[in-house]
């Protein structure tokens, strides 16, 4: 079993790789298309503007590789920005097309206190799912975002509340799983979530 962590030059992937090395699972950081195509699972994780990230994926051909991977029924995990890229559109500086793997839009997290950034630990309400095997409800995880994915409730397997607003913390559509939070920065349970993904 191999896990390709896609390197598209937008975010520190070292913590994620270190987490998988600690778990003893075969993961590697790569942007090599042939290596990614041979992998059993893909993780897309990053921190950047949506438009910049999707433009890089399209120019490099990685968008096609990711879509083909998903179409084959292989597991795909998105973390933070990676999770947001799975959706149809993002309304950031301008309307930008995403990978379109899940029907929904990425929009600004407008809070009642007018602060749009959600940074730090927060609890999530989870539904039974293999990715959450042996994970307790009300788990505290680490967030760092100002946009979130708005989609149909049938895709949402975990929710979070911030400043009176509820949003999707985890989504799943078959073999495609998206985490708005960072499991690699969420302690023991975060490592367990990464392990669960590796064992799907």
Residues contacting 12, CB < 8 A, separation 6+? 47
Query: Among this protein's residues, is 80 annotated catalytic?
Result: yes
Query: Among this protein's residues, is 199 annotated catalytic?
Result: no
pLDDT, one tens digit per residue, over 3-28 is 999 998 777 799 999 999 999 999 99
pLDDT, one tens digit per residue, over 30-83 is 999 999 999 999 999 987 888 999 999 999 999 999 999 999 999 999 999 999
Under 8 Å between Cβ of 85 and 52? no
Q: Say what the pLDDT of residue 79 is.
A: 97
Sheet holding 102-108, edge to edge: 95-97, 87-91, 102-108, 147-151
How many C-alpha atoms does 63 have within 13 Å on its Cβ side?
A: 17
Q: How confident is the model at residue 112 (pLDDT cuts 50, 70, 90)?
A: very low
Q: Write down the catalytic residue from 80, 90, 151, 160.
A: 80
Residue 108 backbone phi and psi in degrees, to 5 = -70, 140
Q: Write down the catalytic residue from 118, 145, 162, 182.
A: 182
Q: Write down the catalytic residue from 145, 151, 162, 184.
A: 184
Query: Among this protein's residues, is 182 annotated catalytic?
Result: yes
Q: What pTM was computed for the model?
A: 0.94
Bridge pairing between strands 3-6 and 27-30: parallel
Percent of the chain with pLDDT over 70: 97
Assigned fold of 3-198: Rossmann fold (3.40.50)
């Amino acid at each position: 079993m191999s896990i390709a962590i896609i390197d598209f030059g937008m975010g520190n992937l070292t913590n994620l790789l270190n987490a998988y090395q600690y778990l003893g699972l075969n993961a590697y950081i790569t942007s090599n298309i042939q290596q990614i195509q041979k992998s059993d699972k893909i993780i897309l994780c990053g921190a950047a503007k949506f438009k910049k990230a999707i433009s890089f994926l399209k120019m490099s051909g990685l968008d096609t590789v990711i879509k083909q991977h998903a179409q084959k029924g292989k597991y795909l995990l998105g973390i933070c920005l990676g999770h947001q890229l799975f959706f149809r559109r993002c309304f950031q500086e301008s309307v930008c097309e995403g990978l379109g793997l899940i029907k929904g839009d990425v929009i600004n997290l407008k809070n009642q206190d007018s602060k749009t950034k959600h940074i730090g630990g927060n609890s999530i309400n989870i539904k039974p799912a293999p990715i959450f095997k042996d994970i307790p409800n009300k788990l505290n995880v680490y967030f760092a975002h100002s946009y979130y994915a708005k989609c149909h409730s049938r895709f949402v397997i975990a929710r979070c509340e911030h400043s009176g607003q509820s949003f999707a913390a985890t989504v799943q559509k078959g073999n495609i799983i998206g985490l708005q939070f960072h499991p690699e920065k969420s302690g023991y349970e975060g490592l367990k979530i990464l392990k669960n993904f590796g064992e799907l």
